[in-house]
Each structure stands twice: as C-alpha cells, then as structure tokens.
Amino acid sequence: MRSDRIGALAIVASAVGYGFVSVLLKLALEAGARPLALAAWRFVLAAVAVWLLLAVRRRPLPSRTALPRLCGLGALYSMDALLFTIALQWVAASTATLVFYAYPVAVVLLAAAFLSEPLTRRRLLACGLTVLGCALTAGGSPEGGRPLGILLVLLAMSALAVYIVTGRRILAREPAHASAAVIVTASAAILVGVAVAAGETDLGGGSRALVLVLLLSIVCTAFPITLFVVGIQRVNAGRAAIFSTLEPVVTVIVAAALLGERIGGVQVAGGVAILAGVLGLRSERPLPDAERVTPLDSP
C-alpha cells in the first residue's frame, strides 16, 4: 500500500511538472528568448540532467539494437517539442495545452488504422467529446490565438501521437528511464542541429530567459521523466494515465496566475469536454496498448 501511494504521488508530481511547460515556455518567449535556441537549450540541459539521474539511480541501459529506433523516436519527439514551442508565439498557453491534450484521440485513430485496435462505441463517443472540446477551446479563448498557432499545436499533437503509436512496442521491451534518456539526447542533438542551421544558437532574453530555460530543463523535463518512471513501476498503466490528466488543469491554473490569461465560459466548457473524453479513453479496462503512457507523453 505504501509503495502504491509513493507511485501515485510520483505520477501526480510528474504531471504537475509537465503542467508548467507551456507557461514557462511562454514566459521565456516573452522575455526575448528565441524559439529554436530555447527548444535546443532546454533539451541539451535536460539530457545532461536525465543522464545524471540515471547514473545516480544505477538503472540498466537499453540494448544496442534498440538505439537506432530510440533515436528515431527522438526525431519525432523533437518535432513535437519544437512545433509546440513555436506555436506559443501566437496562442495562449492554456489554449495550446488544452488543444494539445486531445492527442489520445489521434493515438486511438492511428492505433485503429495500424495496430488493429477496435474503435468501440465508447472510444468513438470519447473521441467526439474531445474533438468538440478542442473546437470550443480554440474558438472560445478570450485571449484569442492566430489560426497558425492552433495549426502548429495540432501538428505537434500529431507528431506525439505518431511517436506514441510507433514507440509502444520498442519502449515495452527496454528500460524506461534509459530509453527516455536516449530519446531526450537524440531530440537535443536534432534541435541543436536545427538551431545551428538557422543561425539561432544564442538564447537571448538575458538572465531571465536563462533562469526559465533551466527551470524548463530540470523541473519540467528531467524530474518529471524520472518521477514518472518511479511511479509507473508502482501503479498500473490505467491509473498512471488517469493521474496524468492533471497536467492541463495545472497549466490552466498557472497560466491564469502567472500570465493573466482569462478563462472564459466557452473555454471552460471545451476543457471539461476534452478531459471527459480523455478520461473516457484512459479509464477503459483493460487499457489498450496504444493508450499505455510513457515517460515522454508531453511536449
């Protein structure tokens, strides 16, 4: 029982850490940080921290044969993180997170197409609720948001969905913490390459942006990954998935407190519909393979 409580607390703490991602990214961009450099520096520092935590915990490394596939997952994850970071220039943090959090719908549809997982009536109803919630959230935010920003969030969500569906079997056979470390490192290498190619390696934004990128790397990336791995070893995948739905709730509250983002009635209704749909998908028993959570189910 004590182990179960520790696992639940670890998953909740991980979701809270991830819940700060959008807000800290938004604050860094407002401070003058450049999007490509911000994404690159966040993952470089996070990779260092994750490997240090891995060494401290003395966890096993993934097999050599899995490394190319884990690096491929890193490419997908870097696309997800980069698109989401860029999108925040044109859309409110709370809106971006709520729309992004509809990714289980894309996962379910891809799993039906490529993993032969059935589209049950319950899943279709949950997908419909989530899509409706996205439409209400994107169209009902008092902060507004350019269509380009919403489009980039949807593309980031799609990249994560492909990452989840393609990565389930790979990650199921490899140590979770070490696999996450390889994926984050591969993501960092790709994002550094993009930043160098674009001539945007200087973070910008002065000391404020530097502090924010350090927080993003440690509080919102390295620690949540490690806490999630600790948690998933003690609670089942279904409970972990449900606990993870706390993430967008944290984002909305923190965005209102730190960014002054107003939450309108239509946006609240959209958020409730999204969470209801996601909970409907994730509370299914037994949990479908495509809905099993991994340490990196976040931008």
Kindly state whether residue 299 falls inside one of the protein's structural domains: no
Kindly state whether residue 195 falls inside one of the protein's structural domains: yes
Q: Are 125 and 94 in contact (CB under 8 A)?
A: no
CA-based nearest residue to 203, from 26, 11, 42: 42
The SS3 call for residue 34 is coil
The lowest-confidence range among 134-143, 209-218, 246-255, 289-298 is 134-143
pLDDT digits (tens, 9 = 90+) for 261-272: 877 777 778 778
Kindly state whether residue 296 falls inside one of the protein's structural domains: no
- Pair of tokens at residue 254: 């923190």
pLDDT digits (tens, 9 = 90+) for 154-180: 999 999 888 888 887 777 788 888 888
How many angstroms separate the CA atoms of 264 and 171, rounded? 39
Query: Where do we find the tokens 């197409």?
Result: 113
- To 10 degrees, the CA torsion angle through 232, 104, 71, 200? -110
What does the pLDDT average to over 227-255? 78
For position 287, what pLDDT does the model report? 67
Kindly state whether residue 297 falls inside one of the protein's structural domains: no
**DSSP labels, 114-144:** HS-----HHHHHHHHHHHHHHHHHHHH-TT-
Kindly state whether residue 298 falls inside one of the protein's structural domains: no
pTM for the whole thing? 0.88
Kindly state whether residue 19 falls inside one of the protein's structural domains: yes
Q: Grade residue 234 by pLDDT with cuts at 50, 70 and 90.
A: confident
Which range marks the domain in which residue 93 is found?
2-291
* 215, pLDDT greater than 80: yes
Kindly state whether residue 251 falls inside one of the protein's structural domains: yes
Into how many domains does the chain fold?
A: 1
How many angstroms separate the CA atoms of 79 and 145, rounded? 21
